Amino acid sequence: MSAALPAVLASVERSVQEARDELVTAEAARSQQNEELRTLRREEATLRERLQSVTESVHGLELQISEKRLQLTGLLERAGSELGLTEDVLVEEYGPEVGVPDETDEQQEPRRYVREEQRRRLEKAERQLGQLGRVNPLALEEFAALEQRHVFLTEQLADLTSTRRDLLTIIEELDETMQSVFASAFEDTQAAFADVFPVLFPGGTGSISLTDPENLLTTGIEVAVRPAGKKIERLSLLSGGERSLAAVAFMVAIFTSRPSPFYIMDEVEAALDDANLGRLLSIFEDLRTSSQLIVITHQKRTMEIADALYGVSMRQDGVSAVVGQRVQAPPA
């Protein structure tokens, strides 16, 4: 028997290591999904900031373009009211494509010079010139540049809007998946809790419900229990042992609804009396048929049903040592 003990221990250690590896892989996958979700939300926040900045830039450019158009409209109205010239005539006769008249062209028929008349014409022309103000020869070029910039920013805005829409779609899909997984797990846990609770609380009833069923991503879970012979349902009004046992019932319901290769529990039965401890041990017996239980305990009855015991002892030199012992079942 002693010769087979190392092989059994090695097999147990391999099983524990495999279970640990599976746990690490599952935790890594969950961490990766959480990190992807956080990355997507950070990207969404960055895109929101970029979208806000681009929107403000586009708004500023649109204001500048509107101002230029108002200035151009005002000049055209003044040219029409004061000079009787339309936009087409101005472009045709004085546009950038019209050259300067050559002084060698044929002169019109001479007119008699009247000094006073010419002085009035000069004063009128000077007043009109003053009303027109300074001419910006680069207005058309500036307008073209602003219009090109407006087109560029509009395209950028459309691209950012499309990217934001795609990110929102991804987040919505993730939220739907999370809600679906949570809803399924909760339904199974709810049914398992209703089965487990009467075992730990004979004659009692217990249930779990969502505090906000309409929002599964932020909802809490409400635990309602009623031990036999009591009318209270709130956990805060139960004794310490009853609260511990209700918490264990909820934990076992989770274990039952989503089985795992092994479970680790730390003194979950510390506050229980003998009767309640016996009920909990019966639950442990059911769980151990399909999973491995690792229980940290000081309860003698819990140790009695274990397959193996491990303890930590301090040697005389002050160094802690782990002591293991395989427990043999009593003969039938």
Tell me the mean pLDDT per 10 residues along the chain, length 332: 69 81 83 85 87 87 88 80 70 59 53 72 77 75 90 93 93 92 92 89 87 88 83 72 84 89 89 86 89 91 90 83 78 51
Residues 280/259, Cβ–Cβ less than 8 Å:
no
Give the DSSP per-residue string, 114-162. Answer: -HHHHHHHHHHHHHHHHHH----TTHHHHHHHHHHHHHHHHHHHHHHHH
Domain assignment of residue 200, yes or no: no
pLDDT of residue 224: 84
Domain assignment of residue 100, yes or no: no
Domain assignment of residue 47, yes or no: no
Domain assignment of residue 229, yes or no: no
Domain assignment of residue 217, yes or no: no
Domain assignment of residue 110, yes or no: no
pLDDT of residue 100: 45
CA–CA gap between residue 83 and residue 81 (Å, rounded): 6
pLDDT of residue 233: 64
Domain assignment of residue 172, yes or no: no
Q: Range of 273's domain?
A: 259-332
- In the chain, the number of structural domains is 1
Instruction: Give the other-Cβ count within 10 Å of 189's Cβ.
Output: 20
pLDDT of residue 97: 60
Domain assignment of residue 129, yes or no: no
Backbone angles phi, psi at 259, to 5 degrees: -60, 150
CA–CA gap between residue 279 and residue 204 (Å, rounded): 13
- What's the CATH code of the domain at 309? 3.40.50.300
CA–CA gap between residue 63 and residue 69 (Å, rounded): 10
pLDDT of residue 93: 64
